[in-house]
Amino acid sequence: MSESQSRRGLGAAARVTALAGSVMDLHVRIALQEVDREKRRLISGGIFLAMGGALMLLTLLGIEVALVLWMKGLFGWTLEVTLLVAAAANLFFAGVFLRIGGQLAKGPYLPETWQGLSRTTKAVLGKP
């Protein structure tokens, strides 16, 4: 790759990085406005969500242990093989869930978000 192509690639990467940073700034500003309006409700809701999430994680961990022990006894596998099968299943389902989540996160977005994105894109690309 020539030096000018390398510089162009770095410039494009810098613009993309600046765009991503600007989008995150926009989301943070909008989230901070919402937080200012309803702090108490959001704080108590966040605490209860965190407690529920922690208990759900412990429950899933217990189910995972029970499943590994059940598979070990049912199929007569060694502990290592059983753990590898469980890890492969977890990896598969994680990929499926991430794919679904990515599709759901594609839109629609608030008008403020679109305005911020268009302003940021114009600023990064140098258009008036």
Mean pLDDT lowest among 11-15, 44-48, 70-74, 102-106: 11-15
Please write down the long-range contacts of 122-127, taking CB distance under 8 Å and 24 or more positions apart: 123/22, 124/15, 124/18, 124/19, 124/22, 125/15
For the chain, the domains span 3-125
Any idea which residue has 């049912």 for tokens?
Answer: 74
pLDDT digit string, tens, across residues 65-110: 999 999 999 999 999 999 999 999 999 999 999 999 888 877 666 7
Q: Please compute, for residue 27, the number of CA atoms within 13 A of its CA located in the half-sphere on the CB side.
A: 7
What integer best gives the mean pLDDT of the chain? 84
pTM above 0.75, yes or no: no
Q: Are the C-beta atoms of residues 15 and 125 closer than 8 Å to each other?
A: yes
